[in-house]
Amino acid sequence: MIFHSIDFLIFLIIVFMVYWQLPNNGQKVFLLLAGYIFYGYVHPWFLILLLASTGTDFFAGLAISRYNHWKRAILFVSLSFNLGLLSVFKYFGFFTQNINWLLNVFDLPTVQYAIMVTLPVGISFYTFQSISYTIDVYRGRIVSCRNPLHFALYTSFFPQMVAGPIERAQALLTQLESRRRFSPRQIQDGLFLIIWGFFKKLVIADNVAPIVNNIFQLQSPPFFVLWVGAFAFTIQVYADFSGYTDIARGTARLLGIELTINFNHPFLAHSPPDFWRRWHISLSQWIRDYLYIPLGGSLCSPQRYFFNIMVTFFLCGLWHGASWNYILWGLYHGLLITGHRLMSVLFTGIAWPWRMPLALKRLFMFLFAMIGFLIFRETDIAHLMRDFSLSPLNDSFQERQYALFLFVKVATYGLPLWLHPFFAQKIVPCFKENRRQLLKSVIAVLLFTTTLLLRSHVTVDFIYFQF
């Protein structure tokens, strides 16, 4: 079931109305059933994998707490099972194709396989969320959950199970275990987030998507048109993914649950590390805590630091998809991070060019991110090499005019994304609490009306559903 569908809106209304009529334990059982209906609505067999992962990690957590001398082996079993699911359903074909390519190079017999399965929606998200639970129990950061209902609800909480945020048990499981109370203020804030999320998805992302698709379908795109396409995709992917997150957080808030903030105005980032503190925050923190720091983090030699960063971002890229462009995207950001650290050391105490104005830093970081999203979008490596070989000198006057027209169109759609931080950080805090809520209500009505009037006639799935 997808958020931007009539089915989901009906589903959400029914869930909301029934949920707040039930006692605490009834709410939990009802939410669990709602989560399974939501996830198995189109492909019921997806539930088999979800239930298998849930059962494995629930009993793994109990076993780690009870059998301390076996906890390393138990954790290994849990990780092997979850990562095995990812490997089979998401990476089996990719790895086999690359092994066959290598075998062909040496003129050796290739591997024959006939496994063709549908990638379960959200498998990367809920497996990472489940993995974090067992690791935290292993490290002694949390106590293992003794109630199978609570843990099953933690892994199947429908607002965020498909595309995040990737929640930690310490935050989400604690809320699910406790009693929730109906709060009109929380309901109002939740509705505002949902409307803002639908606006970003239906008005911004879905209106920009056809421009992106048309440009990247060109066999020989002009230089400026191609880079307008990269700019448009940067707008699309942010509006699409953050729009999903806002709808998820708003939906959870309607049910009395607070989810992690997954985006913090990433287009205002002034450096590569700052970008990853603002972009897909739940994944950034996950790979920091469960991969980067265990590898040694930054408290090591420069050579080891470079290794840790590149391995971390290699796996971050691979997490996004079984394709070389995602791996290259991850390695690109790894190089940006290490390059930024090197520049910080080299230009310490030097006023120029390192200490440039903040606005200029933000502009450069946006351009670096846009280059990365070109790599992210271009799944064909040959096309990617062609893209970076294009010259602006070969574009005709008409092609430049067309590129300018598309740029203005995309920038107009994306303007609310830049106005939002100014509104949220400068305008809203100037009002007192009661007037602040009134202002948000007025803005919500305007956003809702604008969405009805300007929404794209052709909608596409959320981009991060494929991960």
Q: Is 297 left (phi over 0), alpha (psi -120 to 50) or beta?
A: left
Neighbouring C-alpha atoms within 13 Å toward the C-beta of 361: 17
Contact 354, 347 (CB under 8 A): yes
Helical spans, DSSP H, in 223-357: 223-254, 272-278, 281-287, 293-295, 302-320, 324-346
Of 276, 268, 203, nearest to 240 by C-alpha is 203
Token look-up 């995040």 returns 164
DSSP for 109-121 reads: PPPP-----PPPT
Helical spans, DSSP H, in 22-91: 24-39, 46-66, 71-86
Check residue 467 and report its DSSP letter: -
Of 115, 125, 116, nearest to 39 by C-alpha is 125
304-310-313-314 Cα dihedral, nearest 10 degrees: -130
By the 10 Å C-beta count (0-12 exposed, 13-18 middle, 19+ buried), 197 is classed as buried
Residue 278 DSSP SS3? helix
CA distances from 279 to 63, 276, 282, 284, 443 (A): 35, 5, 9, 8, 25
Contact 325, 375 (CB under 8 A): yes
CA distances from 353 to 218, 316, 366, 368 (A): 38, 31, 18, 17
Q: Residue 336 carries which side chain, given as an amino acid letter?
A: L
Check residue 360 and report its DSSP letter: H
Q: Residue 358 carries which side chain, given as an amino acid letter?
A: L
Distance (Å, rounded) from C-alpha 175 to C-alpha 201? Answer: 28
* Structure token digits, residue 11: 């589903």
- The residues annotated with a catalytic role in the active site are 320
Contact 170, 137 (CB under 8 A): no
